[in-house]
Amino acid sequence: MSQPRGRGRGGPGGGFDRGRGRGGDRGSSSPHRGGDRGGSPYRGGGGGGSGFRGGAPGSNAPLIYNAGQPVQLDPNAVSLPNQVIQTIKGAQPGPERPARPGYGTAGRVIALRANFFSLECQLDIIYEYVVQIEPEPKSQKARVKRRVLALFEQTALIKPFLNEIAHDGAQRLVAARRLPEPLQGTVAFYEEGEQRPPSNADQYTVEVTFSKELYTAPMKQFLGGDVANVNKVDEVDPVISALNLVMQREAAQQGFRFGKNRYFFNDDRKAQIGTRLWALMGFYSSVRPGNKLLMVNVNVCMSAFYEPGKLSDALRAFGYASFNAVPREFLRKVKVSTRYLGYKRVMTIQRVANLSASRQSFSSAEFGGQTSIADYYLKKYNIRLQHPDDLPLIDVGGPGKPTYIPAELCDIEPGEPHLGKLGPRETSDMLKVASRKPGANAQLIVERGLQRLGYSPSTPGLNAFRLRLSTQMTVVPGRELAPPSVTYGKGAPRVQNGSWNILDVKFHHGGKMPNWKVLVVRDGVAEFGFNGPNDPRLIGLIKAFANKCSDIGRVRALESISRTMERFGDPKGISLILVLLQRRDDYIYPGIKRLCAVKFGVRSQCMLLEKALLERGQDQYLSNVTLKVNVKLGGVNHRLGGDALSWLTREPTMLVGIDVTHPGPSSVTGTPSIAGVVASVDKDFVQFPASLRLQKSKQEGIAELADMIIERLQAFRRRSNVLPKRVIVFRDGVSEGQYDKVIREELPQIFEAFKRIDAKNPRYHPTLSILICGKRHHARFYPTDSEHADKNGNTRPGTVVDRGVTSVVDFDFYLQAHAGLQGTVKPTHYIVIYDESSLTADAVQQGVHSASYLYARATKAVSLVPPAYYADIVCEQARFWIHGFLNLGGGSDTASSAEGGGGGGGGGGGTGSTGSTAMNRARDAAEQRVFDAAKRMWGNGLHTNLQDVMFYL
């Protein structure tokens, strides 16, 4: 397959670096700009470029520099790490959690600002306490406990010590000095916003009991490099955890937390992003160990929240905007309050019901039989509903015992996050609001973030704990790695800014497509419709592509498509089905992907006619599609030249990517997670076939990893006639706290696969290394001069950082292999957690950087090393196979019936209740029904015809 003219930049629909929605940084700027020239020491330069004070030539992007002061590297980031290397050698022997073997030296040395601020702790002892609240709250335990402790803080018993304590809102409290004992009090519960507790208020007893003393000396010893004589888990981590409580104390009081260490403020900047939704800006903060000193990582974050106010207004507004098609995930898990009982009561919406108050009835002994919800409220509370017929009820009870409340009696609480998937309009609006250039992003952190988080010298809590925070971003050394050369069958394009074009080149190896079919899916959109198979526009489109390569109605639509595909004949004889879609559809597209991958076992490629038929951009669009198709057919688009892959090719090596995707907030409760493993089978590290498994919901560990690794080893042997002598695993989607869990639970399964793959040689054991790839971090780096910045003011592709803000001991680094297209670019964090290969810093950093240019469906380096990227993509593709369960708005009858398998009537006004044990049983049974139904839809999973090909690109 030759590649004719075209730039092939991996644009929309054709194979581009999506930024990985969950971890990719699409940037972050806001229409509420902090200004380019404020009082901060970090100021924006622009225009023609002149040293620190200008942008890159021809760029008006602000850069970050320290006004009137030269850039000075943090001396602890330069000299101390070398001392630590000598200290830690031998401190962590063996392949598990290897200590850093050294620091990288390859590339051009540069100075970078990082969004980390040094923190000095002068306190010698922190006193830790256990908080016990009795009785245990019956529901919304976390929220109620936070409120109970807030009320406890208002009592005379604890008020004198408020500036000297910090707590987690549940069970842990730390103090700057020893508190008097016993420390116990009782509070009457009432909600925030109320003046006093009601007469029947719940009473809670709060007891604070001394636990232990936390000494800061071992932590300081560890930070100084004496890691051999300090137990990090027992002596360092608890102190840092306590300091996080202190550093987040002010933000927790003035705002609210959503997500780990992310704080938002209802009075802060917000922007409308759709029907009754706001984009709210907040700040992330986390204390981390650094070189000699602690570091506080501060970053801007954005999330979507519901506009507080009348629930009935929100439902009417959304119904109007969506022609009354209110999806079931709308408002799910949102907290609402009522006051019709004479006091404020907060509840959580489990679902928006299908019926209104006049149509939903339940059996009421109090009122003599079946009673509608509307009549119940009239008789019980003398409330005549204004919208008994045109507003749905909300269910605050859940599986087994629904409890219905009229929406017009409820208010959405402030600070309620939107947990479901944003629609296209909301997503577009959010990207506009959230995309900030580096200059604006850094300025917000320094000018706004530090102030909102309470990081000023006058903050009482910081003074009480004797903490002193720098207001200057730290400056760390980085390096720019050179890109590898890229070669094609004909031509070697020039790599510039992490990308290249494919004008007049040919693929290294063209995939064969002797028999392929075209499937046109009609959905009534006349603009892009065809008048039969002889329509000149259809014939022209097919020729153009060939040259480049040289509800009930919807259910019936998929059934019709399936029958049409059956008429194509034996799928084994079909190289590819080209599917022409009028538009991207949340039902037809996933259905076609499932039919091709699970039922028929044939490669498919979808094209959107709204893009393919546009004269402007058609060439690029078809080029992008061709990149994907060639690799699906077994071809090789490009290779890396020179010795870019020498660290991999000296012996047979298999690269492995592992990921797990979980059901989101809008999924049916109990929907399974999906685990995926991809692995290379060729010496060019281009072809990565996949294995997939369903497993219990939100289980991050991989239950059947050994079987999937065996399948990948078998595929490698079929292709290469040998088993690999070295295996390098890139594990995606693992948080920092789960590194050891991967070693405990997944490493033994990989070893088991090695033992089982060859019955004649049970001692087979290739050299193994495991790296964790992380995109869910908040580290950002900013150029300190225009010479090392791109046109937007971002760091350039190839930027690597392994000093100053990385681990004191662990073998980790930050790498930005890709170019930032918009906003503030985000590097990927890599950490070696297991290594039998004795990897050096330069080998792994340069090697991962070079490998980032191997991504098959784009002509640019990507943000995540391709094996991990492919594992993410294949998991996302497999989500289509159980699409109805993962997307409540998708209208799957199977998912609906599985979810609603229990419960009947309803309880008006919160009258319905049942024991927690019975509710747990009902919930577990409902989740099991969902899992079983999803498993039936999954069937046997990936068709055997596709187990050796990259069907998922």
Using 50, 70 and 90 to split pLDDT, how confident is the model at 748? very high
365 has a pLDDT exceeding 80? yes
Q: For position 887, what pLDDT does the model report?
A: 64
Q: For position 893, what pLDDT does the model report?
A: 46
- Regarding whether 632 and 517 lie in a shared domain, the answer is yes
Q: For position 7, what pLDDT does the model report?
A: 38
Cα separation, 904 vs 188, whole angstroms? 35
Joined tokens for residue 839: 């990897």
Mean pLDDT across 16-31: 36
- Regarding whether 651 and 597 lie in a shared domain, the answer is no
Cis peptide, bond prior to residue 135, ω within 30 of zero: yes
Least confident among 31-35, 128-132, 383-387, 589-593: 31-35
Single-letter residue type at 754? F
Q: For position 76, what pLDDT does the model report?
A: 77
914 has a pLDDT exceeding 70? no
- Regarding whether 808 and 661 lie in a shared domain, the answer is yes
Number of Cβ within a 10 Å radius of residue 413: 21
Mean pLDDT across 88-116: 87
Mean pLDDT across 782-802: 93
Using 50, 70 and 90 to split pLDDT, how confident is the model at 15? very low
Number of structural domains, the chain? 3
Give 248-287 pLDDT, tens digit per residue: 999 999 999 999 999 999 888 789 998 889 999 999 999 9
| 473, part of any domain | no
Domain final residue pick, 584, 617, 637: 637
Using 50, 70 and 90 to split pLDDT, how confident is the model at 45? very low
Q: Domain residues for 609?
A: 486-637
| 857, part of any domain | yes
Mean pLDDT across 777-805: 93
- Regarding whether 501 and 517 lie in a shared domain, the answer is yes
Q: For position 542, what pLDDT does the model report?
A: 60
Backbone phi, then psi, for 785, in 5-degree steps? -155, 160
Mean pLDDT across 507-519: 63
* Burial of residue 415, with CB atoms counted within 10 A of its CB: 0-12 exposed, 13-18 middle, 19 or more buried: middle
Q: What percent of the chain has pLDDT over 70?
A: 79
| 845, part of any domain | yes
Contacts of 210 (CB under 8 A, 6+ apart): 127, 128, 129, 178, 179, 181
Q: For position 92, what pLDDT does the model report?
A: 62
827: nearest Cα among 795, 859, 788:
795
Q: For position 651, what pLDDT does the model report?
A: 94
Using 50, 70 and 90 to split pLDDT, how confident is the model at 521? low
Pick the residue with more confidence: 467 or 522? 467
Backbone phi, then psi, for 428, in 5-degree steps? -60, -45
| 140, part of any domain | no
Q: Which helix (H) or strand (E) holds 866?
A: helix 866-879
370 has a pLDDT exceeding 70? yes
Mean pLDDT across 169-174: 96
Q: DSSP strand E in 178-329: where? A: 183-188, 203-215, 256-257, 262-264, 270-274, 277-289, 294-306, 309-310
Cα separation, 618 vs 149, whole angstroms? 61
| 73, part of any domain | no
Domain final residue pick, 637, 662, 693: 637
- Regarding whether 687 and 788 lie in a shared domain, the answer is yes
- Among 314-318, 391-395, 750-754, the range of highest mean pLDDT: 750-754
User: Contact, 771 vs 844, CB < 8 A?
Assistant: yes
| 456, part of any domain | no
Cis peptide, bond prior to residue 748, ω within 30 of zero: no
Mean pLDDT across 129-144: 94
User: Contact, 565 vs 16, CB < 8 A?
Assistant: no
Q: For position 59, what pLDDT does the model report?
A: 42
- Regarding whether 646 and 632 lie in a shared domain, the answer is no
Mean pLDDT across 694-713: 91
CATH, residue 678: 3.30.420.10
411: nearest Cα among 455, 356, 345, 472:
345
- Regarding whether 667 and 581 lie in a shared domain, the answer is no
- Regarding whether 914 and 807 lie in a shared domain, the answer is no
User: Contact, 791 vs 56, CB < 8 A?
Assistant: yes
- Regarding whether 726 and 610 lie in a shared domain, the answer is no
Q: What percent of the chain has pLDDT over 90?
A: 53
Give 387-440 pLDDT, tens digit per residue: 999 898 999 986 668 899 999 999 999 999 998 778 888 888 999 899 899 999
Pick the residue with more confidence: 280 or 517? 280
Alpha-carbon distances, residue 779 vs 25, 431, 493, 668, 804 (angstroms): 11, 20, 33, 34, 12
CATH, residue 515: 3.40.50.2300
Least confident among 229-243, 303-317, 771-785, 892-906: 892-906
| 776, part of any domain | yes
- Regarding whether 673 and 818 lie in a shared domain, the answer is yes
- Regarding whether 738 and 655 lie in a shared domain, the answer is yes
Alpha-carbon distances, residue 105 vs 641, 841, 846, 925 (angstroms): 22, 8, 10, 57
CATH, residue 326: 2.170.260.10
Pick the residue with more confidence: 587 or 914? 587
pTM listed for this prediction: 0.86
Cα separation, 687 vs 664, whole angstroms? 30
Domain final residue pick, 593, 611, 637: 637
Single-letter residue type at 56? A
- Regarding whether 802 and 745 lie in a shared domain, the answer is yes
Backbone phi, then psi, for 300, in 5-degree steps? -85, 140
Using 50, 70 and 90 to split pLDDT, how confident is the model at 569? low
Q: For position 18, what pLDDT does the model report?
A: 35
| 509, part of any domain | yes
